């Protein structure tokens, strides 16, 4: 009872303190003549953004500009999370290898990159990319249509066509079929002890329908070829050096932490487990995949969650190398409108939402992977 009263008092006083601060702040802002409110989001932004997933021009609103920044943040964070997970896991396992050379290389990589501040690494990679690559007029052209310069990599892209939409739908359907097939195979294995070979069927289900629907929708192959016009390339698809440097730096840096997490998780699995597997005659690869990793995963997931959260937040360092993420766009907005408190509040809400979404997903996954005792 006393505990509840105490908690109630603390909560009420905290909330009223926040309310009081908000009240004073609002009063003072009004008295200083500083505009407040979120109305500015609908005003014309009047600035350009170097790269965007959705269509954007200076005539769009501040709100849309911030969405562009948000999508750029998501793009680089999600890609970095996926890449760093694969690289980190591979390096973590490599560090435990009995091959001295492999373990040594992996160890050097982890120790070197983990101990240099990320901001420094980003500046380094960005500088290296932009200084070493030639200017657009002298761009490297290894294959027809592919240009490599310090404006980034420009690739030919397929001209948009309805057939690609059909193929994407077919691919999703194929994936659903694969998951059904997988469940069937698992049930068969539990019943008979033998796992049916499904790999060829999986390949067929994934590629077949997608390819077929593309073919029957007209089989478009028209390419949008990039070409040099004026100062820059137009057409095709562009990968900017800012994005490349941020993705590379973020991945390389975070993979070291993931590698250590994976290594710790594997070491935490009792040695008897792998010895038992070996005495059953299993190959080392199978022991790792079927015995060690599933058990290590339970140890790995919780620290991995915080690595993912860190990567999302670290992506905001891209502002230093001109990557137009949420923070970069927000800073421009803040400067043009002067609505600092509002923009910072948007930052907080967005990062909080991304973080809660990631940790919610990881908690669900962790729960699924938790040890089930029979």
Partner 1 sequence: MKVFLATLLVTTALCSAAEAGETLDRIKARGSLVCGVSEGIAGFSAPDSTGKWAGMDVDFCHALSAAVLGDADKVTFKALTAQNRFTALQSGEVDVLSRVTTYTLTRDTALGLDFGAILFYDGQGFMVPAKLNITSAKELDGATVCMQTGTTNELNVADFFRSIGKPFSPLAIEDVNELNNAFFSSGRCDVYTGDTSGLAAWRSSLAKSKEDYVILPELISKEPLAAAVRHGDQQFGDIVRWVGFALIEAEEKGISQANADEMKTSADPTVQALLGVSPGNGKALGLDEAWALNVVKAVGNYGEIFERNVGAKTPLGLQRGTNALWNKGGLIYAPPAR
Q: Kindly list the distances between the CA atom of residue 240 and the CA atoms of 83, 120, 152, 321, in Å, as whole numbers in the listed order.
A: 18, 19, 4, 11
Q: Which residues bind partner 1 (CB under 8 A)?
A: 21, 24-25, 28-29, 31-35, 46-50, 58-59, 123, 126-127, 130-131, 135, 150-151, 229-232, 234, 241-242, 319-322, 324, 328, 331-332, 334-338, 340-341, 344
Q: Which is nearer to partner 1, 42 or 184 (CB)?
A: 42
Q: Which is nearer to partner 1, 133 or 362 (CB)?
A: 133
Closest distance between partner 1 and the C-beta of residue 113, in Å? Answer: 21
Closest distance between partner 1 and the C-beta of residue 77, in Å? Answer: 17
Closest distance between partner 1 and the C-beta of residue 15, in Å? Answer: 18
Residues 165-191 as b/e (b if ≥16 CB within 10 A, e otherwise) read ebbeebbeebeebbeeeeeebeeeeee
Closest distance between partner 1 and the C-beta of residue 153, in Å? Answer: 14
d(C-alpha 27, C-alpha 35), whole Å: 11
Closest distance between partner 1 and the C-beta of residue 224, in Å? Answer: 16
Q: Which is nearer to partner 1, 293 or 322 (CB)?
A: 322
Q: Which is nearer to partner 1, 130 or 274 (CB)?
A: 130
Please give the backbone phi and psi of residue 232, each rounded to the nearest 5 degrees, phi first. -145, 170
| Residues 312 and 254: beta-carbon distance below 8 Å | no
DSSP at 44: B
Closest distance between partner 1 and the C-beta of residue 151, in Å? Answer: 6
Mapped onto helix, strand or coil, the DSSP state of residue 33 is coil
| Residues 258 and 114: beta-carbon distance below 8 Å | no
Q: Which is nearer to partner 1, 48 or 275 (CB)?
A: 48
Q: Which is nearer to partner 1, 266 or 321 (CB)?
A: 321
Q: Which is nearer to partner 1, 44 or 111 (CB)?
A: 44
Q: Which residues does 241 contact at the CB level (< 8 Å), separation at least 6?
A: 126, 129, 130, 133, 150, 151, 152
| Residues 175 and 206: beta-carbon distance below 8 Å | yes
| Residues 229 and 154: beta-carbon distance below 8 Å | no
Closest distance between partner 1 and the C-beta of residue 309, in Å? Answer: 16
Q: Which is nearer to partner 1, 22 or 208 (CB)?
A: 22
| Residues 101 and 275: beta-carbon distance below 8 Å | no
Q: What six digits make up the tokens of 371?
A: 């040890």
Closest distance between partner 1 and the C-beta of residue 156, in Å? Answer: 18
Beta strands in 143-293 (DSSP E): 147-149, 152-155, 157-158, 223-224, 227-229, 232-234, 237-239
């Amino acid at each position: 009872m006393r505990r509840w009263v105490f908690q109630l008092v603390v909560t009420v006083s905290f909330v009223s303190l926040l309310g009081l601060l908000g009240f004073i702040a609002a009063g003072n802002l009004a008295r200083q003549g500083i505009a407040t409110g979120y109305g500015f989001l609908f005003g014309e932004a009047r600035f350009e953004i170097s790269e965007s997933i959705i269509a954007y021009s200076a005539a769009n609103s501040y709100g849309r500009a911030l969405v562009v920044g948000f999508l750029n943040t998501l793009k680089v964070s999600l890609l970095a999370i996926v890449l760093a997970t694969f690289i980190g896991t591979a390096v973590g396992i490599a560090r435990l290898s009995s091959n001295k050379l492999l373990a040594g290389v992996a160890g050097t990589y982890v120790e070197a990159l983990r101990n240099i501040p990320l901001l420094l690494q980003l500046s380094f990679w960005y500088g290296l990319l932009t200084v070493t690559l030639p200017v657009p007029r002298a761009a490297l052209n290894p294959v027809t249509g592919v240009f490599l310069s310090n404006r980034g990599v420009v690739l030919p892209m397929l001209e948009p066509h309805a057939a690609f939409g059909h193929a994407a739908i077919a691919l999703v359907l194929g994936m659903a079929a694969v998951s059904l097939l997988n469940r069937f195979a698992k049930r068969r294995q539990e019943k008979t002890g033998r796992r049916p070979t499904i790999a060829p069927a999986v390949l067929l289900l994934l590629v077949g329908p997608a390819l077929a629907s593309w073919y029957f929708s007209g089989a478009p192959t028209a390419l949008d070829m990039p070409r040099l016009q004026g100062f820059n390339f137009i057409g095709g698809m562009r990968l900017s050096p800012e994005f490349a440097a941020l993705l590379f730096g973020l991945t390389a840096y975070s993979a070291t932490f993931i590698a250590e997490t994976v290594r710790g998780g594997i070491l935490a699995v009792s040695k008897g487990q792998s010895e038992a597997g070996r005495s059953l005659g299993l190959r080392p690869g199978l022991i790792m995949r079927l015995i060690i990793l599933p058990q290590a995963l339970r140890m790995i997931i919780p620290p991995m969650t915080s690595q993912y959260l860190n990567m999302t937040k670290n992506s905001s360092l891209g502002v230093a190398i001109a990557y137009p993420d949420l923070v970069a766009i927000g800073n421009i907005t803040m400067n043009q409108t002067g609505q600092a408190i509002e923009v910072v509040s948007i930052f907080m809400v967005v990062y909080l939402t991304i973080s809660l979404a990631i940790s919610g997903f990881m908690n669900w996954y962790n729960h699924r992977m938790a040890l089930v005792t029979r």
